[in-house]
A and B are shown apart, each in its own frame.
Chain A
Amino acid sequence: MALLEVRDLKVHFPIKGGILNRTVGHIKAVDGVNFSIEQGKTYGLVGESGSGKSTTGKAIIGLEQITEGQVIFNGEDITSIKNKTKDIRKDIQMIFQDPYSSLNPRKRVLDIIAEPLRNYEKLTKNEEKQRVYELLELVGLTPESIWKFPHQFSGGQRQRIGVARAIALKPKLIIADEPVSALDVSVQAQVLNFMQDIQKELGLTYLFISHDLGVVKHMCDEIAIMYRGRYVEQGTKDDIFENPQHIYTKRLIAAIPDVNPRNRDKHYVFRQEVKKEYEQAYDEYFDAEGLAFGLKDISDTHRVALPERG
């Protein structure tokens, strides 16, 4: 059974307008998303900014109201915020995008990492400190860090503190909302590899939200491409990278830069071809509002939003 199952998830934000401030329309941030994640796997959610990938993550953990659909975690329905009982909250944690604003600037590292422990576990001061030391060691920070404030750390170190806080309760699922996009490229790899290490060590499941295809390729087992609140293509890593079916996916993958400078011209020609195909076939692949169609099975793992033909 899947650890997390999301069925037809919709998150709509009302647009208020007019004299009486009535709802005049909806922004469909997430519009009918289905997926499931197996225990121990990493599921990547990719899309341009504004495609609704972060909103999906936030809706699952309960930071956004779900308009419609179902979220099932470990066999329990946690769609409404009310159903997110303390025990379930404990099992789902989040790593935030911005390591600068996600740590309270007025708190010491001890207080930051101990916050979830204080909420869920009755520990004595010494046990608590002990646990924080262990977590700091796990994320590779020195024990002295415990008395420091967030601003005394670099971005990468701060993100490690964020990770330490997220794994403090030994959760089952971690929603990583662009965990490295605010970091230096040299630090990105460091944090990503470290995330993979603790995944093996603690048996974590990741919902990995990113706009960086390179990072996603490195991290994920399964990948979904989102565009304007809908899925465009979903499949295993190989399905997406070796056999992209949708023109949007094709164009995204063509945009990944090639490290070999000798191929520069060839790559440029290829990109131009994909661009041409995208522009020509745009009307075919997207409906009148510019949204993707419903998903169709191509193979057991691969689903693509292909146009209805015939």
Chain B
Amino acid sequence: MTEIWHGLTKAIGLIISLDPEVTEIAGRSLMISLTSTLLTSLICLPLGSLIHFKQFPGKRLVISLIQTFFGIPTVAIGLFVFILFSRAGPLGGLNLLFTPAVMVLGQMILITPLLLGLTIAALSGVDKVIPDTARSLGASGFQMTIIVLREARFAVMATVIMGFGRAISEVGIALIVGGNIRGFTRVITTAISLETAKGDLELSLALGIILIFIALIVNILLNRLQPR
């Protein structure tokens, strides 16, 4: 138990003193995961709406497939992206392996099914009367989509927050494709993994607490940005 207490006091100390290495690692974690969440949202919110509103054969199967990938192990994605971007792999010429860019890409792959699936679920939760009324009042397909998205905004925002949570907390992709290079690709989760391996449990714990702090602040901000 004393370890947990020491971890907590150490975390507070590191935050108050703005420890340069910890600030740098935390900033990088935030940057990479915010970028991946933002980019994925820009793709998946419209795409999820499209799947929800369009009727097409095999729609149920598509949704089932998306939901299946909710639980895909991060190490599996990490390995897949590693093979893709390794020198010997098909995209090796891009020279992206062991860079933050490829970590963003891996996280995007990770949270795409989540954002798609939960966007569809969020839109399904909106009362059917609303799109019907909009249409009867002469709304175009695009306007109707905006209305329904607005109605579902809390669920959609929760989806984005969940995506961010999964992105910033994962370690498998960051470790395999990022390589945990100090000062370049080291993020909070890979630092925790390394410090635990080195036996510095207090620092690991402190970093874990900082990760939760960051998630808290980002959630508060995102909730504030929510219209009404």
A and B from one complex: no
Residues of chain B having any CB pair with chain A under 8 Å = none
